[in-house]
Structure 1
Amino acid sequence: MSAPGMPAVVDREAFQAQLDELRTREKAHTREGDAIAAARRRLPMVEVDAGIELVGPRGPVTLLDAFEGRRQLILYYFMWHPGHPAAEQCEGCTWCATSVAELSYLHSRDITYAVVCQGPEEEGRRYHDFMGWEMPWYSAQGSLDELLVGREVGMMHLVCYLRDGDRVFETYWTTRRGVEAMDYSYALMDLTAYGRQEPWEDSPPGWPQGWTGTCARLRTDGRPIPQWSRIAAGRSDDLGG
């Protein structure tokens, strides 16, 4: 007998038997993911203007410049609330941007990763510095309609590009839950007995699900969760807006 909100307690043999059954499904899920990735590699692409302007710490650059000489580019489009303080900036985008820290593995495959702020360069740069991020960071406030043609400007997007000489092509994009590809925290939570602890999940009765299913799930005490360690370290969150 197990306590409420706890998995059943069984012997090692019974535990392993059910884990083996689940492993079959996990392997099928992995193979399907590989097949989807293979289909993604076979998508056509669309040319975009390589000269579209981004603004970096030293002024205007082009989309082509953002490749930093590499063959491929991944851009994360960070939602922004102009003039709002750091505590009111997008918790979801903060979660995504914080999750991608080590870039050397991407660079080894000739891929550059950068974040594009959908707001003013100065405000975004101050936020970038407050958070202690090291990834390349640009503002694309004046070029979003060109970069996100036909899509919802202001929404988080993850977009992949390929360079052929001085020509630039868009090869893939996703948004909403598609950007979970950037995250490891949720992937690890999904391995645990209680999962993400959010009410939309299919969990047994009594399982803790105290985290809201809204964007508030990525906040504590009025701020995006990872801001608190920066505040504790004495960093300024003044965005100058």
Structure 2
Amino acid sequence: MIRWCSQLSAAVRRRRHLHQRDVTFAAFCQGPFEESDRYRRFMGWDMPWYSVPAESHERFLAGRHFGMKACYLRDGDRIHETYWTTGRGVEPMAPSYGILDMTVHGRQETWEDSSPGWPQPYGTLRQQFRKDGRLTAQWERLDAGHDDDLHGGQRSTDRSGCCS
């Protein structure tokens, strides 16, 4: 799944404007489909969802890593990759970044060049995506009463969800 998957996937809820232009958004996940699909259902996402088997990762990623956005064009039976990006290039999928960038304190992340005393509560990479040990995006689902049994009836000691 794309890195920051919960944040970015949660931002892609309405796809009608894409569909009107004959574009489909789909998520490709790393690992077993059943495990990631339980997470997709827990989060309430309805986008097309696919798993890339371990033996296909390298061919699919072409030397890149998960955490990317890629665009493909289907021409009959042929598929052409027309665009890809990773890292900060994926940020347009998360409008909250743009909003945070316009605020007085910005994202409050350690990599920002901030004045002494500027609030930067996130001491480690990806900590900004968590609250009380859980992915931030999960809390609204839990608050709404959704069951977070992501392991098919067997509770795990890892309560962080399927991805970072």
| Corresponding residue of 1:84 | none
| Corresponding residue of 2:161 | none
User: Which of these residues, 81, 95, 104, is aligned with residue 7 of structure 2?
Assistant: 95
In structure 2, distance between residues paired with 1:205 and 1:216: 21
User: Which of these residues, 40, 62, 77, is aligned with residue 149 of structure 1?
Assistant: 62
Gaps of 5+ in 1: 1-77, 80-89
Return the offset for 1:167.
1.3
In structure 2, distance between residues paired with 1:222 and 1:132: 21
Q: Aligned AA for 1:107?
A: H
Q: Deviation string for 1:20-44 (max 9, x for gaps)?
A: xxxxxxxxxxxxxxxxxxxxxxxxx
* Number of aligned residues: 151
Q: Which moved more, 1:111-120 or 1:227-236?
A: 227-236
In structure 1, distance between residues paired with 2:17 and 2:123: 34
| Corresponding residue of 1:104 | 16
Q: Aligned AA for 1:199?
A: T
- 1:55-204 residue pairs with structure 2 within 5 A? 78=1, 92-142=4-54, 143-152=56-65, 155-204=66-115
| Corresponding residue of 2:156 | none
Structure 1 residue matching 2:8: 3-state secondary structure: helix
Q: Deviation string for 1:50-91 (max 9, x for gaps)?
A: xxxxxxxxxxxxxxxxxxxxxxxxxxxx15xxxxxxxxxx6x
- Higher Cα radius of gyration: 1
In structure 2, distance between residues paired with 1:210 and 1:222: 14
Q: Aligned AA for 1:113?
A: F
Q: Tell me which stretches of 4 or more aligned residues in structure 1 moved more than 4 Å.
A: none
| Corresponding residue of 1:3 | none
Return the offset for 1:213.
4.7
In structure 1, distance between residues paired with 2:149 and 2:31: 16
In structure 2, distance between residues paired with 1:222 and 1:204: 28
Q: Aligned AA for 2:7?
A: W
Q: Deviation string for 1:128-170 (max 9, x for gaps)?
A: 0000111111111243222112223xx3121110122221101
What TM-score, normalized by structure 2, do the two folds share? 0.84
- Backbone CA RMSD of aligned residues: 1.7
1:205 aligns with 2:143: no
Return the offset for 1:202.
2.0
Q: Which moved more, 1:172-181 or 1:128-137?
A: 172-181
